[in-house]
Structures are given as structure tokens and as C-alpha cells.
Amino acid sequence: MATPFDWYRSASYDAHQKHLFHRNARARLKALARELNLPSGSYDLRSNAGGIAVSGEITLHQDAVYIQVCQPATGWDSGIMIRTCKGRRDYTGGANNFAPLRMLDDLPALADRVSAILRLHQASRAA
């Protein structure tokens, strides 16, 4: 397990913290891809720093799932957004599903949540 990172320390107006947030989130999403058994090259990993007042977002985009990490501006801990998609050019995808940022420190549990969302999506398409 990776060393826990303070996902909740604000990255807005703090260039160094934003750099750390992006570096750590990219590393966790890459490790999540391994946890999900996604072959190298089967997904994109993108980082958008955004403006000074926001954390920006880090995105793992695979053909069936889109996972984005950010520090939300709301008080609600919804920093990980998971949604199904139809290919890597689908940027809107299915319904948004949210998880707390702290799940980046428990990748097996996050992988289970992603897998459950994918199974539910596949079951609803089959029905």
C-alpha cells in the first residue's frame, strides 16, 4: 500500500500542493489501472491543472470507464467521479458515481467500486 497522502489539503492558490496532488493522483490512478488488470496502452492518463483557484483534475480514461480525481469546491466529499463510457472519445459517458478522495489510499476497495459500477452498467444494458 502506498503512503497515505493528504488529499484534502487545498491545492488552490498553492502551486506546490497542486503539483503534489497531481503527481500523487496520477500515481494512484496508474496503480488503480494495474489493480483493475487494465493492460498498458488500453487507457489514457491525463492531467489538467486548471486555473489557480482549483485543484484541476486527473483522469484515467479507458474504453469502458472514465475515472476523474479532483478536489471539489463543495463541502461534499465527491473527489473521485466514476462513470461508464463508450470509448476514449466519450467525455460525457453514463451516470456520475462518486467516491471520497480517501479511497485513493485503498485501491482494492476503489477497484471493487469501479468493477461494481461496470457490472451494474453491463447488467442494465443486457436487460
Comparing CA positions, the residue from 16, 14, 34, 36 lying closest to residue 24 is 16
Percent of the chain's residues with pLDDT above 90: 80
- pLDDT for the residue numbered 13: 96
Interval 29-48: pLDDT, tens: 999 999 999 999 999 999 99
The pLDDT-based confidence of 2 (bands split at 50, 70, 90) is: low
Q: Which three cell numbers stand for residue 6?
A: 493528504
Average pLDDT, integer, range 96-113: 96
Bridge partners, 84 (sequence order): 65
Checking if the pLDDT of 1 tops 60, the result is no
Sequence spans of domains, the chain: 15-126
pLDDT above 70: percentage of residues in the chain: 98
Res. 53: pLDDT tops 70: yes
The answer to whether the beta carbons of residues 55 and 11 sit under 8 Å apart is: yes
